Amino acid sequence: MRSLFSVMLLLLLALTLTAEANRRAKAHKGGKHEKSRPASECSAAETQYGKCVPEHGDCGEGLREATCKDRTDKIHCKIPCNWKKDISDCKYKFGPWGSCDATTNTKSRSGTLKRALFNAECQTAVKVSKPCSPKAKKARGDKKSN
């Protein structure tokens, strides 16, 4: 009876260790760099990147082609589902949002180029706009009235 208990305990321990090792391997395998980098000997400067093409609709997860020498790989990418989708491969430094324009019900701000991702062709300055929020924000010192 004692030997059966010992064998069962050893099997349980082995099963637990195997499950833990699999969980760690899965967590490590899906790293950001593995998904976004083509598996080749080319540097980022030598690689030509295509436009990100979403899998469904006009935004969300998608794929882009990365070509270096005579090899073309498909790598994962993401297009934001908001006002930034036109400039997703370019990084800009934006100023504060302007006041709301009552005629168009939008507010806008401008940004200057910080860097271009994936060798993208980017404008040096952009202006973006979005709808104004429906309610006016209260100042920090104001209290709610019941």
Per-residue pLDDT of the chain (146 residues; tens, 9 = 90+): 778 778 887 777 777 777 776 666 555 544 444 445 445 577 777 888 888 888 887 778 889 888 888 888 888 888 777 655 566 778 889 999 999 998 988 999 999 999 887 777 888 998 888 888 876 666 666 666 55
By the 8 A CB rule, do 79 and 90 touch?
no
Domain boundary pick from 60, 81, 102: 81
Same domain, 68 and 106: no
- 124 inside domain: yes
Same domain, 77 and 87: no
Range of the domain at 92: 83-133
Total tally of structural domains belonging to the chain? 2
DSSP string, 69-137: TTEEEEEEEEE-SSGGGGGTTEEEEE------BTTTTEEEEEEEEEEEGGG----SEEEEEEEPPSSPP
Q: b/e per residue, 51-74, with b = 16+ CB within 10 A?
A: ebebeeeebeebebebbbeeeebe
Same domain, 91 and 124: yes
